[in-house]
């Protein structure tokens, strides 16, 4: 946990700042027209997540999701608390991170996602950086409302243009995704110039009718199963990712079933989840 966060922090310090193509003061999220159409099911409004680290300290995340008048994602607010080693004596310090991500449908086929991240050390404010990272990426939707390009990757779809099959990266890597008969992604192959990595059947699901995903939210994508989202430099670790595309159905149809784990359902909707890696999650919905 700490090592991964350290990598993310170093990346965020060195990332270039991208200027948003949607900084238009006249932009109105409630009237903007887009090819993208959200899934018409109960909307996830908040996800709280936690896990205990190696030293028993608890890392916590609080995601809040805000939607526009057309039920499209408009804003994601993420606040998380973690613990990192800093200083010559490798003392462990509490780090609170505030992240705001804004989604703008600036044209029928164009999406812009801008983020800013603040890092706060409650016990040593001298290290605070506000914001520590600011940037944006843009993408293009096809006529079905799925992204055919975004930031460093281009996408290829199958099944009438609704299921993501391949992704081509600016760095030369190429991903081919594997699915089951329920449209749940199960693995991938990554081809690069000098290496091929094949990861089949690594993502598992709950194949019972009570664990169908009857929400607007793709939990499989949210926990990192759409691997191409990890290619965004700011998005490498799924539990610290500020940008979510697949979770809102922008990278193809969401799968039918929920990911493997311990789910608690109420009225057909998931309200609690324990990930196989130990992450505990509670889910609330927009009323």
pTM of the entire predicted model: 0.88
Residue 167's DSSP bridge partners are 155, 175
Residue 285's beta-bridge partner residues?
44
Tokens of 275: 């990930």
- E-strand ranges in 121-237 read 129-141, 147-150, 153-158, 163-169, 174-179, 185-191, 196-199
Q: What is the mean pLDDT of residues 226-236?
A: 93
Which helix (H) or strand (E) element contains residue 11? Answer: helix 2-14
* 40-93 tens-digit pLDDT: 999 999 999 999 877 778 999 999 999 999 999 999 999 999 999 888 888 999
What residues pair up with 174 in beta bridges, in sequence order? 168, 191
Residues with Cβ < 8 Å from 216, sequence gap 6 or more?
Answer: 38, 39, 40, 41, 42, 43, 44, 71, 248, 249
Confidence (pLDDT) at 250 = 97
């Amino acid at each position: 946990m700490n090592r991964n966060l350290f990598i993310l922090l170093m990346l965020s310090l060195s990332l270039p700042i991208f200027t948003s193509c949607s900084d238009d003061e006249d932009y109105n999220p409630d009237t903007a027209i887009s090819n993208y159409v959200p899934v018409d099911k109960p909307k996830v409004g908040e996800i709280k997540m936690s896990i205990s680290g190696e030293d028993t300290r608890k890392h916590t995340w609080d995601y809040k999701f805000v939607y526009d008048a057309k039920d499209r994602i408009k804003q994601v607010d993420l606040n998380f608390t973690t613990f990192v080693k800093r200083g010559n004596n490798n003392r462990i310090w509490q780090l609170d991170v505030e992240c705001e991500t804004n989604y703008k449908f600036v044209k029928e086929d164009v999406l812009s996602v801008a983020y800013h991240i603040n890092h706060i050390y409650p016990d040593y404010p001298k290290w605070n950086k506000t914001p520590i990272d600011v940037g944006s990426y843009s993408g293009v939707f096809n006529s079905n409302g799925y992204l055919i390009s975004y930031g460093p990757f281009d996408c290829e779809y199958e099944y009438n243009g609704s299921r993501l099959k391949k992704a081509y990266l600016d760095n030369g890597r190429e991903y081919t995704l594997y699915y089951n008969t329920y449209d749940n992604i199960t693995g991938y192959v990554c081809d690069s110039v000098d290496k091929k990595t094949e990861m089949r059947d690594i993502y598992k699901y709950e194949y019972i009718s009570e664990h169908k995903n009857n929400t607007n939210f793709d939990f499989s994508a949210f926990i990192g199963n759409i691997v191409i989202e990890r290619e965004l430099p700011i998005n490498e670790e799924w539990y610290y990712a500020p940008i979510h595309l697949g979770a809102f159905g922008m990278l193809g149809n969401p799968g039918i079933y929920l990911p493997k784990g311990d789910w608690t359902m109420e009225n057909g909707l998931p309200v609690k989840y324990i990930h196989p890696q130990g992450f505990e999650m509670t889910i609330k919905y927009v009323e």
